[in-house]
Structure 1
Amino acid sequence: MTEFIRIGPAEPSALAVEEFVRMRDGVRLATDVYLPGGDDAPGDTILIRLPYDKGGAYTFIPLIAEYFMGRGYRVVAQDVRGKFRSEGEALLLVNEADDGYDTIEWITRQRWSNGRVAMWGDSYYGFAQWAAASTHHPALKAISPRVTGTQLGEPARGDTVEMGITYLYALTYFHSADAYFWEMDWTRRPYAAQVEEFLATVGARSISYDQWYPHVVRLRRFRQGSPFDGPAVPVLHTIGWWDNCAPLSWADVAEIQKRPAWDQNHFLRIEPMDHEAFSLLDGPEQLVEDRPVEQIRSELPRMLDPTLAFFEVFVRGNGSARDIPRVAWNLAGTEGMRTSESWPPAGVREVQYAATPDGALTTGGAAEGMDAAADVTWTHDPDDPVPSSVENAFAFLLFRPDEAPLAERDDVLAFTSAPVEHDVDLVGPVRATATVHSDGPVMDVFVRLLDLAPDGTALRIARGQVHVVDATAETAVEIDLGQLGYRLRAGHALRVHVSASDAPEFIPLPGTGEDPWGATETTPNTEHLTVGGPDGLRIRLSILEEE
């Protein structure tokens, strides 16, 4: 029997009145209405739709609502369909467009609404904003999605490495109305059998899991098409440098840049934080997993004030779009926010580093002129994969792990540059190119970029991964390591780690070519990487050169 913890809904906040809002199919969604001072005079409304319990401690929505009410906003917080106090079936991602539209429509008909609605929220409730925007409701005046993406939760396809959270999310927060927490034993295959044990213990299946595994059924998320195909909504788009979901956010940025109307209404904000809003700027006293209420209150201004300034312009009409920076970003390792008209900002130039057979990273003429190639090998053992940096990938900066010891493993290749003589600002995209192959049928390649300090500790500052389908043949790969805004201090060096696993944040391949979630047997693979020569491992990044 699989042991689990089941968490049901909290009572509605004493600051709110709970309503049950009827959707077009008759399902009623539990909705807390917060009115500043109990005043039901018409005013602007901020809508928050989430699957994590509108009254629960994890997302502290009552504290957020209280802060918004302090600026005169009405706040509507709603459990999405099938979750906690709402009716209906818990089904990942597919009901948020129509339910978002119907909720906005309901708001506009209330006596306390002036017909102007904005939306705010992180992660899944950031996705709920994109879904609502796709329905083109005229009352939705602005959105403020944080650490999220329109492709949130998609199972892997093509050259994408599968995240370990993918199937589990459908079994924890989206099994049914309540939340379930249980531990996967990553040393015991098949993983799918452990899921069946959990479902048997609970006595009910998860609709979302069954639509993802063993055969993916891709349901339509946006009934009226991609949000970016419709009329543009002003958006304050917040990304964290250490957010594990940041690749989804950057993919949306790339899509928005292709659409002039959306691009004109897009305002980007990039902060030195992870998915759970822990910041590189946090002191030791702030790095606690269960943040007390007073700490949360003290951190609300940095979380919410940029949104309030944005809504002041685009919801209330006070000021103009010129008052909001087109791009506001933090250079991690420094205080404060910088602004620019675009991302990357003007003044960046690309620098290329090449890995050498002796474990160095070289740049400049040495990198361009390398012609001695070597085939470097290592063993991927599915029963002893390279461990992920932290147990909770969503709270990377809570732990700030030293990744230097990973280089001591035989299955991690390490390449290190010379220390820089002065501070260097790494700003813009980071890409790796390499030639790889394996004696196994498929191969995962992970590349981590680290800041190696003079004391020998290493902080990960960028990473990327790629799945190679036909790995027995030499394959040229390009690996997206995301975007950087980071100050490398004088005396520090860059280090690159290359491996074939990063578990359990990503599901480790069994070595047999079988589906890693359902595979029973495992076998080690010998992995190959070309180092040196024109096809060897290269890291391309950009440096900001300021006057």
Structure 2
Amino acid sequence: MGRGSRLFQRLLRLGPPLTRDVVVHPHLPVPMPDGTVLYAERWAPRHGGDGLPTALIRTPYGRGRRSTLAALPLAERGFQVVVQSVRGTFGSGGAFKPMRNEREDGLATLDWLVKQPWCGDSVVLTGSSYLGYVQWAVADQLPPQVRAMVPVVTEAALTLAFLREDAFELETPFAWGVMVSGQERKGALLRQLLGARRAHRAQFTTPLEEADRAAIGSPSPYIQNILSHGAEDPHWDGVDQQARVAAASVPVSSVAGWFDIFLPGQLRDYRALRAAGREAWLTVGPWAHTAVGVQAEGARQTLEFGLPHARGERPQEREPVRLYVMGAEAWRGFESWPPAGYAPRRFHLQEGGGLATAEPGPSGPDRYRYDPADPTPAVGGVRFAPGRGGRKVNTRLEARADVLTYTTAVLDADTEVIGEVEAEVWFRSSLPYADVFVRLCDVDAKGRSRNVCDGLVGLSGADEITRASLRLWPTAHVFKRGHRIRVQVSSGAFPRYNRNPGTGEPRATAVTLRAADQRVFHDPEHPSAVVLPVRATSAAG
């Protein structure tokens, strides 16, 4: 493993290991109370591995080579690592029913683990995305041997945030359903790469309930469920683990990304921990869900936070909240989220495409036409697709006729925005059903517009003048002196959000697509604005 070890050390920017002589003990049977057997593997130093702190990773994505990036760096630096395939995946018995069995199976796995003669007396739970969700599923009933948790780009109500009735996020659950449906086939990674374009095209399928067949050739139970059952549907009973967060009995270090799909829920979970008086750290970097930086920071937190707790020591002191402030391109520490000292400031949409803190004057509405047959595309931002998320130049997007932009004058001082971002847009459509998408951008001195954060809300009764209230993704960003602040308004970001057909039909079965004429108001009676948490040396005029 020497060559891979050095590659991962460089890739994750870790210090030198304690050993590069690591062995893998495969095919460890883990019995469940119902008689099902799940399989795990143990990564440990060849010499002296017994009794070391154990990092437990429970995953639906496979063991062996698939788990090397997560397991090897930890096994070389003070841990032994147990990687278990969850029920119904990669040789583990039973059927894989996403998020349905993780509490019972997770508790049974911990009971098995702490009884193993090589386990020692300390365990740390770690992992990203689904691998973080399984930690929350057991967080309120941990055995005393568990000393810390490191949930990475995840949250306690996995999937449910995508299924809001007023903002259905199609891309992430659809792409995940496609991915897991074929992940155990031979050549799965190559198949996924070659099938990416097909999967993208499939999201244009009408009705959407046929999209899984278009992408993978057969129905996917998970995709059918996310299309047919909204977040509040009883179908999802038992999936939401939020009630367990405040009851977590061990210190928690959460790793998040400004462009991660789970960021709002992860910040909610962090606030719940702090409100309950739990020891908790939060690290938020400039990452999308699949960024290498996410894996690197997850490994560092497991080593720098989890390992000291496993040894009965204190981690190195730092502020509880560590944020990468974009624009300034620097890490900063804070005592809380959201941090104190940032007051909401309204930046109003103005006639002629302006944006300013001054109240808008009398003006007529701006207009654009939204056609779901040619939907406004998602460009950068919060994306599940590797390489497509994060900060991107928005020039081509803003040149579209279905995107309005509103921009401040050149800033005469740095304007620092950290916290929760909201928007209020007074809006009217020619149809009763419409979406409003708002994006905050930073325009540099060369006129290049890059996205900072955004959000979408769906409206009914949109054929009357309506105030659309949106909660954008949280952010930490400095708009530098000489830059400008820009707000985009449109009616979609496909395929991150599904197309609004304009008819009010259920998302799974809608077949008719109707174009709509949209109007955005910005006058004294309809003061559309984005609301930014600002600490700045001067205001934009």
Range of TM-score over shorter length: 0.7 to 0.9
1:30 aligns with 2:39: yes
- Partner residue in 1 for 2:126: 120
Task: Name the aligned partner's letter for residue 285 of structure 2.
Answer: E
- Cα displacement string for residues 362-411 of structure 1 (whole angstroms, at most 9, x for unaligned residues): 12xx23xx342533222110101111115964445777421122222111
Q: Distance in 1 between matches of 2:166 and 2:523?
A: 25
Structure 2 counterpart of 1:45, from 50, 54, 68: 54
Shift of 1:416: 0.6
Question: Does the 8 Å contact 1:104/1:139 carry over to 2?
Answer: no
Query: How do 1:375-390 residues align onto structure 2 when only pairs under 5 Å count?
Result: 375-390=365-380
Distance 1:301 1:211 in 2: 33
1:332 equivalent to 2:326? Answer yes
Question: Judging changes above 3 Å, is the alpha-carbon distance between structure 1 residues 385 and 398 closer, same or farther for their aligned structure 2 residues?
Answer: closer
1:252-304 CA-partner distances (Å, limit 9, x unpaired): 234445x423xx3221111121111255xxxxxxxxxxxxxxxxxxx976442
How many angstroms apart in 1 are the aligned matches of 2:155 and 2:301?
19
Shift of residue 46, structure 1, vs aligned partner: 0.6
Could you report, residue by residue, the CA deviation over 1:462-515 in whole angstroms, capped at 9, with x for unpaired residues?
A: 111112133233322221112221122221111111111111121111122112
Pick closer, same or farther for the CA change 1:223–1:331 going to 2, 3 Å: closer
Distance in 1 (CA, whole Å) between partners of 2:28 and 2:288 is 33
- Mapped to 2, the partners of 1:529 and 1:335 lie a distance apart of 34
Aligned amino acid, residue 277 of structure 1: A
How far apart, CA to CA, are the structure 1 residues paired with 2:298 and 2:345? 34
1:520 aligns with 2:520: no
| CA displacement at 1:190 relative to structure 2 | 2.1
Q: TM-score if structure 1 supplies the norm length?
A: 0.84
Shift of 1:147: 1.1
Aligned partners of 1:451 and 1:492 also within 8 Å: yes
| C-alpha contact (below 8 Å) 2:380/2:389 kept by paired residues | no
Contact preservation (8 Å) 2:422, 2:532: yes
The Cα of 1:197 is off from its aligned counterpart by: 5.1
Deviations 1:213-262 (Å, cap 9, x if unpaired)?
435662433698721353443111111112233222233234445x423x
Q: How does 1:280-429 map to 2 (within 5 A)?
A: 302-319=297-314, 323-363=317-357, 366-367=358-359, 370-390=360-380, 393-395=384-386, 400-429=391-420
3-state SS of 1:88 partner? coil
SS in 1 for 2:474: strand
Q: Report 1:88-487 matches (<5 A).
A: 88-154=94-160, 156-174=163-181, 178=185, 181=192, 182=195, 183-184=198-199, 185=201, 186-196=203-213, 201-202=217-218, 205-215=219-229, 218-221=235-238, 226-228=243-245, 230-257=247-274, 259-261=275-277, 264-278=278-292, 302-319=297-314, 323-363=317-357, 366-367=358-359, 370-390=360-380, 393-395=384-386, 400-487=391-478
| Residue 421 of structure 1, CA deviation | 2.1
In 2, are the aligned partners of 1:135 and 1:224 still within 8 Å (CA)?
A: no
The letter for the 2-side match of 1:358 is G
Letter in 2 for 1:492: H
Structure-2 change in CA distance of 1:397 and 1:423 (3 Å): farther
- Assess if the C-alpha contact under 8 Å between 1:348 and 1:543 holds in 2: yes
When residues 530 and 233 of structure 1 are mapped into structure 2, their CA distance, relative to the original with a 3 A threshold, is farther
Structure 1: how far apart are the matches of 2:488 and 2:303?
41
- Structure 2-normalised TM-score? 0.85
Distance 1:222 1:234 in 2: 23
Q: C-alpha deviations, 1:284-329, integer Å up to 9, x for none?
A: xxxxxxxxxxxxxxx9764422332211443222126x82421111
Distance 2:438 2:209 in 1: 28
What amino acid is the match of 2:38? L
Partners in 2 of 1:302 and 1:231 — Cα distance? 22
Shift of 1:210: 4.2
Name the CA distance, whole Å, in 2 between partners of 1:510 and 1:243: 27
Q: Distance in 2 between matches of 1:464 and 1:127?
A: 24
State the one-letter code of the partner of 1:218: H
The correspondence for 2:528, drawn from 537, 543, 547, is 537
- 1:20 equivalent to 2:29? Answer yes
**What is the aligned residue count?**
501
Moved more, 479-488 or 326-335: 326-335
SS of alignment partner, residue 223 of structure 2:
helix
**Cα displacement (A) at 1:48:** 0.9
Structure 2: gaps spanning 5 or more residues: 1-21
Contact 1:92 1:174 in 2 (8 A): no
Q: Is the 8 A contact 2:125 2:149 kept in 1?
A: yes
Secondary structure, in 3 states, of the residue corresponding to 1:405? Answer: helix
Unaligned runs of 5+ in 1: 1-12, 280-298
SS of residue paired to 1:192 = helix
Q: Kindly report the root-mean-square deviation, in angstroms, between the aligned alpha carbons of the 2 structures.
A: 2.8
Please give the alpha-carbon distance, in whole angstroms, between the structure 2 residues aligned to 1:303 and 1:136: 21
CA distance 1:151–1:339, shift in 2 (3 Å): same
Cα 1:390–1:423 shift into 2, 3 Å: closer
| CA shift digits 1:316-365 (9 cap, x unpaired) | 22126x824211112123455221211233332332210012100012xx
Deviation at 1:437, TM superposition (A): 2.8
Closer, same or farther: CA 84–238 of 1 in aligned 2, 3 Å = same
By how many angstroms is 1:68 displaced?
A: 1.1
Amino acid at match of 1:89: A
Distance 1:303 1:256, change over 3 A: closer
**Cα distance between partner residues in 1 of 2:472 and 2:409:** 21
Q: Does 1:63 align with 2:69?
A: yes
Cα distance, 1:519–1:479 mapped onto 2, change above 3 Å: same
Q: For the Cα contact (< 8 Å) 2:53–2:123, is it kept in 1? A: yes
Q: Contact conserved, 1:240 with 1:273, CA < 8 A, in 2?
A: yes
AA paired with 2:276?
P
